[in-house]
Amino acid sequence: METRRAVIFRGHVQGVGFRWTTCRVAQSHRVRGWVRNEPDGTVRCELQGEPRQIDAFLDAVERAMDGHVQERVEVPTEDGAIPDEGVEVRR
């Protein structure tokens, strides 16, 4: 059963291609959603998919960013649409 989850990534996550890497990693995972930079220097990612697929995707993003993520925190989801496929960059 699909679920919707949101996470905040903290660390050196802005200005390093984090959002674009997230979109690239999503191409090999069955998740959909969006990613955006936050004013406080974090990156927010809102996702929908099977729980195991979301976990695998988030772990893959951290591996792809190799040490840039210091912390990943689950946060409440926002209202609004999720794309029909893939992960898109929002501003």
Question: What is the pTM assigned to this prediction?
Answer: 0.95
Which residues are CB-neighbours of 7 under 8 A, at least 6 positions away? Answer: 44, 45, 47, 58, 72, 73, 74, 75
- Overall average pLDDT of the 25-51 stretch: 98
Structure tokens at 29: 């995972």
Number of structural domains found in the chain: 1
Catalytic residues: 19, 37
CATH number, domain with residue 22: 3.30.70.100
pLDDT in tens, 39-64: 999 999 999 999 999 999 999 999 99
Measured distance CA(56)–CA(87) in Å, rounded: 15
Host domain of residue 33:
3-89
Which residues are CB-neighbours of 48 under 8 A, at least 6 positions away? Answer: 2, 3, 4, 5, 31, 32, 33, 82
